[in-house]
């Protein structure tokens, strides 16, 4: 029996990842850049039993669904390939936030799983290598291995060994924050995996997305290093709008926005016009994350709460990378 525990946090992309050039290895068409979110954590314990059998996965105390178990087992198989004899794994994972609330837990979940599994196996891998393991389960998870502002480098090699996450700026180096407005949906989130695949295959705008994202990424990295929030915020807004434009123009279309989503986008613009620096970004769902100065986050959250259809607003600052518990 070999056990290890980890804690990892979710992340929010400011320059989005949308589209794979290799589905099996999870290699993106473009690089992306995110902020690791202090408030959204997953703690995971992995035990390799040494005996053959199927893996067991408990999420917040309940047995996980088929798709999640399959992705976890595929990740665990990569670890088992490095160290024969580990056997079936028992995995227990807990989120600090309700997954049913609509916030993505796959990034923190697979980052925590990759690290705990490698550590339980006794593999002494650099964090960049852990990011490759997490990437194989879910692309955005690779960025959660590091804290603060993180770039997922696209890489060039067909085997994906250079498609890794790298830290850009540590969590405590910049006093920014995010307020995330959770929009009531009443139904399960559409799969970002399927929607992005459809965008690659059918959106007439996908080429333009790839062409312009490389420049957005360079610009965003420079803005983070210069701690220029206004510049970063403007890039983040154009990145999510372009990503959603490819989704909306896919066949069949993927429209993630609800009524309150548009109200929130308008409210963020009003805040800005009234002098409060606030910039929106949206993943493959209806929720709106708003980047702002740390001193403004209470005020921004308050403004978002006033929109009808907003169930909750989570305030968070940049958080650290994966931790061994
Ligand atoms: C919109 O990482 O969930 O959140 O690699 O297929 O697991 P898979 O996709 P996933 O997609 C994230 C898409 C996004 C943008 C981002 O996080 O960069």
Paired tokens of 74: 């595929």
DSSP 191: P
For residue 22, tell me if it sits in a domain: yes
Last residue of a domain, one of 149, 173, 197: 173
For residue 212, tell me if it sits in a domain: yes
pLDDT of residue 185: 76
The whole-number average pLDDT for the span 170-181 is: 98
Each residue's pLDDT tens digit, 258-312: 999 999 999 999 999 999 999 999 999 999 999 999 999 999 999 999 999 999 9
CA of 192 to the centre of ligand 1 (A): 6
CA of 17 to the centre of ligand 1 (A): 6
In sign, the C-alpha dihedral spanning 10, 12, 18, 20 is: negative
Q: Do 144 and 188 lie in a common domain?
A: no
Residue 187: pLDDT band (50, 70, 90) is low
Do residues 19 and 31 touch, judged by C-beta distance below 8 A? no
Q: Do 16 and 109 lie in a common domain?
A: yes
For residue 324, tell me if it sits in a domain: no
More confident residue, 71 or 98: 71
Q: Residue 251: is it exposed, middle or buried by C-beta count within 10 angstroms (0-12/13-18/19+)?
A: exposed
Q: Which atom of ligand 1 is nearest to the CA of 138?
A: 7
pLDDT of residue 100: 52
For residue 71, tell me if it sits in a domain: yes
CA of 149 to the centre of ligand 1 (A): 17
Please give the residue range of the domain that contains residue 229.
176-316
Question: Which residues does 198 contact at the CB level (< 8 Å), separation at least 6?
Answer: 247, 250, 251, 252, 254
| CATH number for 33 | 3.30.230.10
Do residues 147 and 167 touch, judged by C-beta distance below 8 A? yes
Quote the CA–CA distance of 21 and 158 in Å, as a whole number: 10
For residue 257, tell me if it sits in a domain: yes
The whole-number average pLDDT for the span 91-115 is: 85
Long-range Cβ pairs for the range 235-240 (8 Å, 24+)? 235/14, 235/15, 236/14, 236/15, 236/279, 236/280, 236/281, 236/291, 237/279, 237/280, 237/281, 239/13, 239/14, 239/15, 239/16, 239/213, 239/281, 240/16, 240/280, 240/281, 240/282, 240/283
Residue 188: pLDDT band (50, 70, 90) is low
Q: Do 184 and 205 lie in a common domain?
A: yes
Residue 65: pLDDT band (50, 70, 90) is confident
The whole-number average pLDDT for the span 208-230 is: 98
Q: Do 14 and 115 lie in a common domain?
A: yes
Percent of the chain whose pLDDT exceeds 90: 93
Ligand 1 mutation pick, 140, 194, 254, max ligand atoms within 8 A of CB? 140
The single residue listed with the structure tokens 């790839």 is 210
Q: Do 6 and 148 lie in a common domain?
A: yes
Ligand 1 mutation pick, 14, 192, 195, max ligand atoms within 8 A of CB? 192
pLDDT of residue 176: 98
Supply the residue whose CA is at minimum distance from atom 1 of ligand 1.
283
Q: Do 37 and 167 lie in a common domain?
A: yes
How many domains does the chain fold into? 2
Tell me the CA distances in angstroms from 166 to 130, 150, 151, 152, one per residue in order.
11, 6, 5, 6
Paired tokens of 313: 């607003």
Q: Do 245 and 163 lie in a common domain?
A: no
Q: Do 87 and 229 lie in a common domain?
A: no
Whether a cis peptide bond, with omega within 30° of 0, leads into 252 is: yes
Quote the CA–CA distance of 109 and 41 in Å, as a whole number: 8
Q: Do 131 and 223 lie in a common domain?
A: no
The whole-number average pLDDT for the span 222-236 is: 98
For residue 122, tell me if it sits in a domain: yes
Ligand 1 mutation pick, 139, 261, 281, max ligand atoms within 8 A of CB? 139
Do residues 44 and 113 touch, judged by C-beta distance below 8 A? yes
**Is residue 284 in contact with ligand 1, taking CB distance under 6 Å?**
yes
289-320 burial, b at 16+ Cβ within 10 Å, e below that, comes to bbbbbeebbeebbebbeebebbebbbbbbbbb
Tell me the CA distances in angstroms from 48 to 36, 53, 59, 106, 180, one per residue in order.
29, 11, 17, 22, 36
For residue 90, tell me if it sits in a domain: yes
Q: Do 17 and 157 lie in a common domain?
A: yes
For residue 145, tell me if it sits in a domain: yes
Supply the residue whose CA is at minimum distance from atom 7 of ligand 1.
138
Q: Do 193 and 118 lie in a common domain?
A: no
Last residue of a domain, one of 119, 153, 173: 173
Residue 189: pLDDT band (50, 70, 90) is low
**Is residue 139 in contact with ligand 1, taking CB distance under 6 Å?**
yes
Q: Do 150 and 204 lie in a common domain?
A: no
DSSP 261: H
Paired tokens of 255: 């429209």
CA of 284 to the centre of ligand 1 (A): 8
User: Which residues partner with 56 through β-bridges?
Assistant: 90
Averaged confidence pLDDT in the chain: 96
Last residue of a domain, one of 114, 143, 173: 173
The whole-number average pLDDT for the span 89-116 is: 87
Could you give the strand order of the β-sheet that contains 278-281, starting from the edge strand earlier in sequence?
A: 278-281, 288-293, 176-183, 310-316
pTM: 0.97
| CATH number for 199 | 3.30.70.890
CA of 12 to the centre of ligand 1 (A): 10
């Amino acid at each position: 029996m070999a056990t290890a525990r980890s804690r990892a946090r979710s992340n929010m992309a400011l320059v989005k990842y949308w589209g794979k050039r290799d589905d099996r290895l999870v290699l993106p068409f473009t690089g992306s850049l995110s902020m690791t979110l202090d408030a959204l954590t997953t703690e995971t314990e992995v035990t390799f039993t040494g005996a053959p059998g199927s893996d067991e996965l408990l999420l917040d105390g309940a047995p996980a669904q088929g798709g999640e178990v399959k992705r976890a087992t595929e990740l665990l198989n990569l670890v088992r390939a490095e160290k024969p004899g580990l056997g079936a794994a028992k995995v227990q994972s807990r989120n600090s936030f309700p997954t049913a609330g609509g916030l993505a837990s796959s990034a923190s979940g697979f980052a925590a799983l990759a690290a705990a599994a490698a550590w339980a196996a006794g593999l002494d891998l650099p964090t960049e290598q852990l990011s490759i393991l997490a990437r194989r389960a879910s692309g955005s998870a690779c960025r959660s291995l590091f804290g603060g502002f993180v770039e997922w480098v696209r890489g060039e090699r067909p085997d994906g060994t250079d498609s890794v996450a790298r830290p850009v700026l540590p969590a405590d180096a910049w006093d920014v924050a995010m307020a995330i407005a959770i929009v009531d949906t009443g139904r399960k989130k559409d799969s970002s995996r399927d929607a992005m695949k459809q965008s690659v295959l059918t959106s007439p705008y996908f080429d333009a997305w790839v062409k312009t994202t490389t420049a957005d990424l360079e610009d965003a990295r420079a803005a983070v290093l210069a701690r220029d929030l206004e510049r970063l915020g403007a890039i983040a807004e154009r990145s999510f709008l372009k990503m959603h434009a490819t989704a909306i123009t896919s066949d069949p279309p993927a429209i993630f926005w609800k009524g309150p989503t548009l109200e929130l986008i308008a409210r963020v613009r009003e805040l800005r016009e009234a002098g409060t620096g606030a910039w929106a970004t949206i993943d493959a769902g209806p929720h709106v994350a708003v980047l702002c100065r740390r001193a403004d986050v209470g005020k921004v959250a308050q403004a978002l709460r006033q929109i009808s259809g907003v169930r909750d607003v989570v305030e968070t600052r940049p958080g650290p990378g994966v931790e061994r518990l």
